[in-house]
Amino acid sequence: SVVTAGICRWLVRRGVKVAPFKAQNMSLNSFVTREGAEIGRAQAMQAQAARVEPTALMNPVLLKPGSDRSSQVVLMGKPVGEMSARGYHGGRQEALLGTVT
User: DSSP secondary-structure letter at 57?
Assistant: G
What are phi and psi for residue 47, nearest 5 degrees?
-65, -40
Look at residue 97 in the predicted model and tell me its pLDDT. Answer: 62
- Please tell me the total count of domains within the chain: 1
Look at residue 32 in the predicted model and tell me its pLDDT. Answer: 97
Question: For residue 65, which amino acid is it?
Answer: P
Burial of 7 (0-12, 13-18, 19+ CB in 10 A): middle
pLDDT in tens, the chain (101 residues): 899 999 999 999 999 999 999 999 999 999 999 999 999 999 999 999 999 999 999 999 999 998 778 899 999 999 998 888 777 666 666 666 666 65
* Domain assignment of residue 36, given as a range: 2-98
Total Cβ atoms within 10 A of residue 99: 11
Look at residue 4 in the predicted model and tell me its pLDDT. Answer: 95
